[in-house]
Amino acid sequence: MRFRAPATSANLGPGFDCAGVAFDLWNELELVGRVAGTPHVTVEGEGADELQAAGSDHLGLRAFALLAPVEGWSFRFINRVPLARGLGSSAATIAVGLAAGMHVARQHLTPEQLLVHALTLESHADNLAAALAGGVTLAWQEAGRFRIARIAERLPASPIAIVPGNRVSTEAARGALPAQVSLQDAASTAGHAALLGAAIAAGDESLFAASLEDRLHQPYRAATATLFTPIRESLPAGALGVTISGSGPTVIVWARRGKSEGVVAELAARFPDARVLPLSVAATGAGPVAEPGPAVGATA
């Protein structure tokens, strides 16, 4: 049995701690039944050496164990999402573990129900929501619990991830944020967040380009997401804007539809030491690969 979960980008400019999008870049888990004994874990791809050492403490196993016993199974993780780069690698690992555990336990849980379990392993609901539900999502708290709204299957722009070689820890990036911001900065970001929602609903690239300004987190994370400022100050021809992906250091350049190829070429020439990944929005979230029935989140 094979399962997968997508990479994600959280915040989306002014959508701090609530907006997320799933990308068509997948971590996979191959699950094979064994006769007996403790679980066997292998890891391939991104971060294989360091994650292999985690053994039974692997984040995907811990997620699986929330829904089904791990004993008697062999777990093969194939990682394509870069680690600690702001593309939701841990959220994808949790989501794929939950999807596999749910299947084995023969449960049928909604993305919101799975989110309750996921939040015991990671506190970032925006990434988790997109990994579980797919598409473009919002996550928020209501009456003491997190809710998920899957608001769109696409965006009015084409995402291109620029992935530097360095890593940034989420804790360190969050520690750089101020405890308070001015009323003017809060009002500006709230207005742009509303504009972001309108742009997504209307599928309007001009509104989308206008919506990406943020004053809550990006000005403070630009010190470690070092590609953000030079790209923002000199956008490639055909680009609408740029956002810091999650906590960084990856940034997402948003290209006009049909202009991605030229934007990718220019970015690759300007930043030869970074990976330039043209992406698309993943319409589904974590779930089985090539199995009957909808993937988790397909009807969120």
- Which H, E and C letters describe 192-248, residue by residue? HHHHHHHHHHHCCHHHHHHHCCCCCCHHHHCCCCCCHHHHHHCCCCCEEEEEECCCC
Task: Provide the pLDDT for residue 53.
Answer: 64
CB atoms within 10 A of CB 162: 24
**Considering only 53-62, 103-112, 134-143, 255-264, which range has the smallest mean pLDDT?**
53-62
Cβ neighbours of 31 (radius 10 Å): 19
> What's the pLDDT score for residue 137?
97
Query: Tens digit of pLDDT for each residue in 1-45?
Result: 999 999 999 999 999 999 999 999 999 999 988 767 788 899 999
Mean per-residue pLDDT for 88-102?
97
Confidence of residue 172 (pLDDT cuts 50, 70, 90): confident
Mean pLDDT for all residues in the chain: 91
Per-residue pLDDT, 294: 41
pTM over 0.85: yes
Q: Which is nearest to 128 in space by CA: 289, 300, 251?
A: 300
Residue 51 in this model has a pLDDT that exceeds 90: no
| CA pair distance 209, 241, nearest whole angstrom | 6
Mean pLDDT of 270-280: 97
Average pLDDT estimate for 61-90: 94
pLDDT for residue 35? 60
Residue 221 to residue 13: CA distance in whole angstroms: 12
Q: What is the pLDDT at residue 295?
A: 42
* Antiparallel, parallel or unpaired: β 251-255 and 239-244: antiparallel
Cβ atoms within 10 A of the Cβ of 33, count? 9
Rounded CA-CA distance 22/129 in Å is 9
Whose structure tokens read 């100050």?
233
Two structure tokens written together for 225: 């997401």
Check: CB of residue 279 under 8 Å from CB of residue 88.
Answer: no
Burial (CB < 10 A; 0-12, 13-18, 19+), residue 273, is: exposed
pLDDT at 298 over 60: no
- Taking the C-alpha atoms of residue 282 and residue 300, their distance in angstroms, rounded to an integer, is 14
What pLDDT band is residue 292 in, cutting at 50, 70 and 90? very low
DSSP 90-159: HHHHHHHHHHHHHHHHT----HHHHHHHHTTT---HHHHHHHHH-SEEEEEEETTEEEEEEEES--SSEE
Q: Say if residues 15 and 252 touch (Cβ distance below 8 Å).
A: no
Q: pLDDT tens digits, residue range 190-243? A: 999 999 999 999 999 999 999 999 999 999 999 889 999 999 999 999 999 999
Instruction: Taking the CA atoms of 85, 90, 91 and 92 in sequence, report the sign of the dihedral they define.
Output: positive
Map out the domains of the chain with their CATH numbers.
Answer: 2-153+282-288 (3.30.230.10), 158-278 (3.30.70.890)
Q: How many CA atoms lie within 13 A of 296 on its CB side?
A: 34
